[in-house]
Structures are given as structure tokens and as C-alpha cells.
């Protein structure tokens, strides 16, 4: 079976009730995944066998806590459909192993006809089946209501409360904190960049650094898709911390905006030194400033304001161009007033707006 066919079959399960084994068999029938049988789908010994958990018994019913999920059912009238690639990636990210600690237990409701329906743990049950570990810890509750419609409604409410309305989503910095302590490569890299910028968040690094606000944008420009070299982030952080001396935190859009400004200026200077005529090089050379000068100019801007804040420096901001807006504002508010030639000032202003893809009417 082709991958797309299997995806289609899984998506078409909406409003159907099927067993875990049925789903596992669809996935295992994908031709392109057969080569992964020796690794990703290779049978794995049960992690519950000959363990205290595996021997636990319900004192009232005599049932084992570890039970087979093979014939347990899933009701796709309220369950989310399975994203096949994401499911397989879970195994790949764990070197092809099913993790009993991450799987914890499966939550089940028993309907009046005796059928057991998994309302939480569908993906974990499928992953265990893919590794031929059919028996996993299960917590079962027998329905108190009688009709099938009422029982489905109770299961749907359980599902929503546990996975949607009742769950508290993790902030990106909280996810990073867990990944950092788990020694994930990208999280460690970001931690080193924050250390070099004298920053900390949630007290994770314990380095006495300034608190980073706006973690998500800093993350995306440090190690993400909009990556800016760490040397510019470090320089930007120094400029902020040497200027806003009464603060103890750094706004994410300001540090990334100044870093974007510094990166852009260096790009222009390099192009001009190489003889590129894409920029007004005579004007660009006016931006060849040392870090101390930028700190002094930032302090000058602050002295002219009644209540200077980092938020005021990055305002106004254009939607979907917040970093670029902050970079332009740094030029327009901090650097431009210290340039002597009006023509140069306006030439560079137009050049920055064009470079950053901004709307001149917004600034």
C-alpha cells in the first residue's frame, strides 16, 4: 500500500469505531516503510514483563493493570485523526524504541456491551502495537449511563477536558527548559547563545543574566528559520544592557531588531567594499560606527525622552515585520539624529525601508 493510501484510509475513519489492531495493520502495510521493519517497526521486548507494574492486579476485579490493547476500540466521532508522519517520527526520534515512561497508561471507558474504548492514549496504543507490545498499563472505568449516545458523550467530554479545554498549553520557553535539561542539541545551542548575551529565562541558566522577554522571537532568530548570527545578538545585548542600566530585562524584539540592524549594516558595508553598486555606498559608509558610539547614541535618545523604555524604542511596529520594524526604528530614532547630512539621512531611511520590506506610510 502506498503511503498516501494509508493516510487516506486513516483520515476516512471519521465517525467510525475500529480496533487498535486495525489501525496498526494499515500502517504496517505501507510499502515504503517495509525497509524500516528491522529498525522502526522491529518487535521490541515488553518493558512490563517480570516487573512489579506488570504483576499489579485490581483487588476488586482481579484484572491485571497491564492489559492487551489489541482489541480495544477507538471512536473517531470525537477522536482526532492520526497524523501518520508525526506518529512515525515519535519512534524515529527515540531510536525506534517504544518508551514505557513516556507512554504512562492508557485511559479507557467500558461500555455496557463490554467493549473497551480508548478515550486517551490512542497514539501510545498504536505505537505499542507497532512495536508488538500489545499489553500496556490501562486504567478502566465502567460507564454509569446506559445509552450508547450518552456513553459517547461522556467519552467525548473526557477527551476534551483532558486534551483540550482542561489542558494548559506550554509556553515555548517552558518547552525549551525541558529540552535544555534533557540535553537536546538545539536547546543547548540556544542556551549557549543566551549565556553569551548575558541573558537567562525562568532561572534555567543560573548565570545572573538579564531576564529575556519575548522568548519565541529570540528563539526563531537564534536557532530557528530567521537565524541571525550570534555575534550580532551578543553585540545588541551589550548595547541594550549598557544603555538601559535601570532595567534588568531585555525585550525580545529589541535585541533581535538591533541585531538585524547590525547584520544589515555589515552586509551593506561588505557589498560596498566589494564594489557592489546596489547600495548608495557613500551614505552606507556613514553607518560604519563602533559599538561605543551606538551605546552613546542610545543613551542620547533616552535622555531626550520623558520616560524612555525599550517598548517605546521598538514602536511603531508593522504586522508580520516586527523584527524589521525594530531594526528600522533603531536607525530612525537612535542613529539617524547623529548623522549630519540630511540627504544621507533620507537616502538611508529609504534604503532600510526597502531592505526590510516595510511600508513607508507606517513610519
Distance CA 25, CA 9 (A): 11
Distance CA 64, CA 363 (A): 68
| Domain co-membership, 105 together with 73 | yes
Are 35 and 8 in contact, with CB atoms under 8 Å apart?
A: no
Q: Per the structure block, which three cell numbers stand in for 275?
A: 564594489
What percent of the chain is modeled with pLDDT above 70? 97
| Domain co-membership, 107 together with 185 | no
Please identify, among 134, 163, 192, the residue that sits at the C-terminal boundary of a domain: 163
| Integer CA distances (angstroms), 231 to 172, 227, 259, 331, in order | 23, 12, 9, 19
User: Residue 351's CB: how many other CB atoms inside 10 A?
Assistant: 19
pLDDT tier at 165, thresholds 50, 70, 90:
low
* Residue among 30, 144, 168, 16 at smallest CA distance from 87: 30
| Domain co-membership, 156 together with 177 | no
Q: What is the pLDDT of residue 15?
A: 86
- Alpha helices (H) along the chain: 3-11, 20-28, 52-55, 84-93, 100-103, 122-130, 148-163, 172-181, 185-196, 215-222, 230-243, 252-273, 281-284, 291-303, 310-313, 322-329, 342-356
| Domain co-membership, 11 together with 137 | yes
HSE of 231, CA atoms in CB hemisphere, 13 A: 4
| Beta strand pairing call for 210-213 and 249-251 | parallel
| Domain co-membership, 189 together with 158 | no
Give the tens place of pLDDT for each residue, 172-197: 999 899 889 888 899 999 999 999 99
pLDDT tier at 258, thresholds 50, 70, 90:
very high
What percent of the chain is modeled with pLDDT above 90? 70
Give the tens place of pLDDT for each residue, 32-78: 776 655 578 889 999 988 887 778 877 777 778 899 999 999 999 88
Task: State the residue for C-alpha cell 541573558.
Answer: 199
Phi, psi (rounded to 5 degrees) for 315: -100, 145
| Domain co-membership, 138 together with 179 | no
Torsion-angle region of 260 (φ positive above 0: left; ψ -120 to 50: alpha; else: beta)? alpha
Distance CA 144, CA 160 (A): 19
| Integer CA distances (angstroms), 350 to 200, 288, 328, 353, 358, in order | 36, 18, 10, 5, 10
- Domain residues for the domain of 55 are 3-163
Phi, psi (rounded to 5 degrees) for 204: -70, -45
Give the tens place of pLDDT for each residue, 89-127: 888 888 889 988 888 899 999 999 999 999 999 999 999
| Domain co-membership, 357 together with 232 | yes
| Domain co-membership, 176 together with 262 | yes
Helices (H) then strands (E): counts for the chain: 17, 9
Q: What is the pLDDT of residue 148?
A: 92
HSE of 179, CA atoms in CB hemisphere, 13 A: 15
Average pLDDT on 133-144 reads: 93
Task: State the residue for C-alpha cell 485511559.
Answer: 107
Distance CA 73, CA 163 (A): 18
* Most distant CA pair in the chain, distance: 88
The answer on pLDDT for 310 being more than 60 is: yes
| Domain co-membership, 22 together with 79 | yes
DSSP secondary-structure letter at 335?
I
| Domain co-membership, 220 together with 350 | yes
Q: What is the pLDDT of residue 320?
A: 92
Please identify, among 163, 196, 230, the residue that sits at the C-terminal boundary of a domain: 163
Task: State the residue for C-alpha cell 547614541.
Answer: 297
| Domain co-membership, 330 together with 186 | yes
Please identify, among 143, 163, 183, the residue that sits at the C-terminal boundary of a domain: 163
The region of weakest confidence among 12-16, 232-236, 330-334 is 12-16
| Domain co-membership, 276 together with 214 | yes
Distance CA 57, CA 289 (A): 74
Q: How many domains would you assign to the chain?
A: 2
Q: What is the mean pLDDT of the chain?
A: 92
Amino acid at each position: 500500500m502506498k503511503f498516501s493510501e494509508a493516510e487516506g484510509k486513516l483520515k476516512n475513519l471519521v465517525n467510525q469505531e475500529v480496533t487498535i489492531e486495525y489501525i496498526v495493520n494499515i500502517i504496517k502495510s505501507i510499502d515504503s516503510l517495509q525497509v524500516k521493519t528491522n529498525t522502526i517497526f522491529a518487535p521490541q521486548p515488553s518493558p512490563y514483563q517480570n516487573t512489579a507494574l506488570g504483576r499489579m492486579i485490581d483487588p476488586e476485579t482481579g484484572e491485571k493493570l497491564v492489559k492487551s490493547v489489541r482489541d480495544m476500540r477507538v471512536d473517531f466521532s470525537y477522536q482526532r485523526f492520526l497524523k501518520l508522519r508525526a506518529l512515525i517520527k515519535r519512534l524515529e526520534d527515540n531510536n525506534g524504541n517504544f518508551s514505557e515512561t513516556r507512554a504512562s497508561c492508557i485511559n479507557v471507558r467500558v461500555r455496557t456491551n463490554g467493549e473497551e474504548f480508548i478515550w486517551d492514549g490512542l497514539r501510545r496504543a498504536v505505537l505499542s502495537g507497532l512495536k508488538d507490545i500489545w499489553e500496556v498499563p490501562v486504567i478502566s472505568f465502567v460507564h454509569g449511563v446506559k445509552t450508547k449516545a450518552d456513553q459517547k458523550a461522556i467519552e467525548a467530554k473526557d477527551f476534551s477536558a483532558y486534551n483540550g479545554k482542561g489542558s494548559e498549553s506550554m509556553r515555548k520557553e517552558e518547552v525549551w527548559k525541558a529540552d535544555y535539561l534533557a540535553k537536546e542539541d538545539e536547546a543547548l545551542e540556544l542556551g549557549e547563545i543566551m549565556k553569551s548575551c548575558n541573558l537567562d529565562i525562568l532561572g534555567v541558566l543560573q548565570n545572573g543574566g538579564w531576564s529575556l522577554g519575548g522568548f519565541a522571537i529570540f528563539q526563531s532568530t537564534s536557532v530557528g528559520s530567521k537565524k541571525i548570527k550570534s555575534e550580532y545578538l551578543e553585540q545588541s545585548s551589550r548595547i541594550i544592557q549598557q544603555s538601559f542600566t535601570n532595567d534588568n530585562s531585555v525585550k525580545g524584539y529589541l535585541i533581535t531588531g538591533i541585531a538585524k540592524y547590525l547584520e544589515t549594516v555589515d552586509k551593506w558595508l561588505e557589498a560596498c567594499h566589494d564594489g557592489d553598486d546596489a547600495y548608495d555606498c557613500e551614505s552606507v559608509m556613514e553607518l560604519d560606527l563602533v559599538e561605543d558610539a551606538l551605546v552613546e547614541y542610545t543613551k542620547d535618545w533616552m535622555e531626550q525622552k520623558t520616560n524612555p523604555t525599550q517598548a517605546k524604542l521598538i514602536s511603531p511596529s508593522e504586522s508580520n515585520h516586527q523584527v524589521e520594524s525594530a531594526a528600522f526604528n533603531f536607525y530612525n530614532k537612535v542613529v539617524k539624529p547623529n548623522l549630519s547630512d540630511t540627504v544621507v539621512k533620507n537616502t538611508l531611511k529609504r534604503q532600510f525601508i526597502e531592505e526590510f520590506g516595510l511600508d513607508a506610510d507606517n513610519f
